[in-house]
Amino acid sequence: TLGAAPQTILEKIELADGIVEFVVHSPLIAKSAKAGQFVRVLPWAKGELIPLTLADWDEKAGTIDLVVQAMGTSTIAINKMQVGEAFTGIGGPLGQPSALHRYEGNQTVVFTAGGVGLPPVYPIMREHLRLGNHVTLISGFRNAGLLFWTKEDERVGKLQAEFGKQLDVIYTSNDGTFGEKGFVTGPLERLLNEAKAGKGRKIAEVITIGPPLMMRAVSDLTRPYGVKTVASLNSIMVDATGMCGACMVPVTIDGKMVRKHACVDGPEIDAHLIDWDKFLPRFNQFKTQEQISKVKHGF
């Protein structure tokens, strides 16, 4: 579907410093999109293809929502695009839709989102709520200046109004300017311990989306508890067909190293199978200032 539609920007919302939400005309993708899938955006001819997870879509309006954080040259330039301008192409939806299960009884599905991990988490979370599952969202921001979607009339706030007690939301910020001080792993550890002690809800699964180091920290934390954990990987991608190897994820199955590809096998991969020691350096092979700073700051 690359280049099949005009891909015009209909709305541009500045969510926070360097973070922009675009509502883009893309009826074909809006019609077939499923939670957890992503698109590849070719911002302009001869540009770099950028994989972006769908933050939302509206089949009736024929629009998709993309949240872009200015990180490298391309994303900085994309975020300067204005309403009325059009992307050269948007291909998708790509990747496997999120695996959805109905969890009965006193169970919860925990989402840990780091920064702009919140937009890709949002549609998956909404599907779980619609299925009837209880959901706990732990959403972390670096500081209060980078918040978005948290107010009553914004996406997470609206979900809270719609689903009431079916959704618990815990916010964290690295510097304590919003929610609990610290990282998403703090509240997650508390929930894991409560569940282990038979006090809280049983954790059916953990889904984590955010900076690679955060996803690794979440995976390391849940492993000894034996709680199923899924990481949705926004890897570096080139062809998105499973051929080029750019998005390779080393996983270990039955003691054997297997190459998975985030573009076709993912973006969701069982976090406990990922060989994080081998995988994390792959994010650094195309170093940008932003990634260096993220690694330095932990999240």
Distance CA 98, CA 124 (A): 7
Alpha carbons 82 and 7: distance in angstroms, whole number? 12
CB-closest chain residue to ligand FES: 263
CB closer to ligand FES, 181 vs 259: 259
Is residue 67 within 8 Å of 20, Cβ to Cβ?
yes
Residue 260 phi/psi, 5° resolution? -105, 155
Closest approach of ligand FES to the CB of residue 100, in Å: 24
Q: How many CB atoms lie within 10 A of CB 17?
A: 10
Q: How far is the CB of 170 from ligand FES (least distance, A)?
A: 33
Closer of 245 and 298 to ligand FES (Cβ):
245
**Closest distance between ligand FES and the C-beta of residue 83, in Å?**
30
State the nearest-atom distance from the C-beta of 202 to ligand FES, in Å. Answer: 35
Largest distance between two CA atoms of the chain: 56
HEC assignment per residue over 90-106 = EEEEECCCCCCCCCCCC
Listing DSSP states for 265-283 in one string gives: T-SEEEGGGB-HHHHHHHH
Residue type, 154: E
Cβ closest to ligand FES, residue 230 vs residue 240: 240
Nearest approach, Cβ of 243 to ligand FES (angstroms)?
6
Q: Which is nearer to ligand FES, 9 or 262 (CB)?
A: 262
Instruction: Closer to ligand FES by CB, 27 or 51: give it.
Output: 51
Q: Which residue has the tokens 């009325």?
A: 84
Residue ranges that bind ligand FES, judged by CB under 6 A:
237-240, 242-247, 261, 263
- 243 or 292, CB closer to ligand FES? 243
Q: What's phi and psi for 293, nearest 5 deg?
A: -65, -35
Calculate the CA 268 to chain-centre distance: 10
Nearest approach in angstroms of CB 89 to ligand FES is: 16
Euclidean distance between CA atoms 174 and 139, whole angstroms: 11
Enter the tokens of residue 51: 């994989």
**Minimum distance, C-beta of residue 111 to ligand FES, in the bound complex (Å):** 24
CB-based contacts of 198: which residues, under 8 Å, 6+ apart?
none
Nearer to ligand FES, 143 or 291 (CB): 291
Cβ 96 to ligand FES, closest distance in Å? 13
Structure tokens at 48: 């770099």
| Closest to ligand FES by CB, 145 or 245 | 245
